[in-house]
Amino acid sequence: KMREQGFLNGKPHGPCKVYDQRGRLVQEMTYREGRLHGTMTIYDSGGNVAKRMEYEDGRMKKDLPPAMKDEPRPASVPGMDRKR
């Protein structure tokens, strides 16, 4: 897996995206000073939202409604769609 992530003072900070070997987005989350903060989205193999959770200062606050599962995954990373 490949990860796009920023750091502040050596700790994860800001948006983070995780891609599979083909460059497809499989997970999105946000960190604040090393802790998960905000919405974490996990995508299934078909590119649909499989799960969403809300975090605050590193603690999961709640699962978000399953009605959001039909949302499509954002586009993959250019040039990474090909099979290896």
What's the pLDDT tens digit per position in 15-57? 999 999 999 999 999 999 999 999 999 999 888 999 999 999 9
Residue 14 in any domain: the answer is: yes
3-state secondary structure of 9: coil
Residue 53 in any domain: the answer is: yes
Tally of domains within the chain: 1
By the 8 A CB rule, do 55 and 36 touch?
Answer: yes
By the 8 A CB rule, do 80 and 23 touch?
Answer: yes
More confident residue, 62 or 68: 62
Residue 83 in any domain: the answer is: no
Question: Considering the entire predicted model, what is its pTM?
Answer: 0.74
In the block, tokens 């946000």 appear at 30
CATH number at residue 9: 2.20.110.10
Residue 48 in any domain: the answer is: yes
Residue 84 in any domain: the answer is: no
More confident residue, 1 or 29: 29
Domain that holds residue 52: 2-70
Residue 76 in any domain: the answer is: no
Handedness of CA 36, 39, 44, 50 (dihedral sign): positive
In the block, tokens 């999105």 appear at 28
3-state secondary structure of 47: coil
Residue 77 in any domain: the answer is: no
More confident residue, 73 or 82: 73
3-state secondary structure of 84: coil
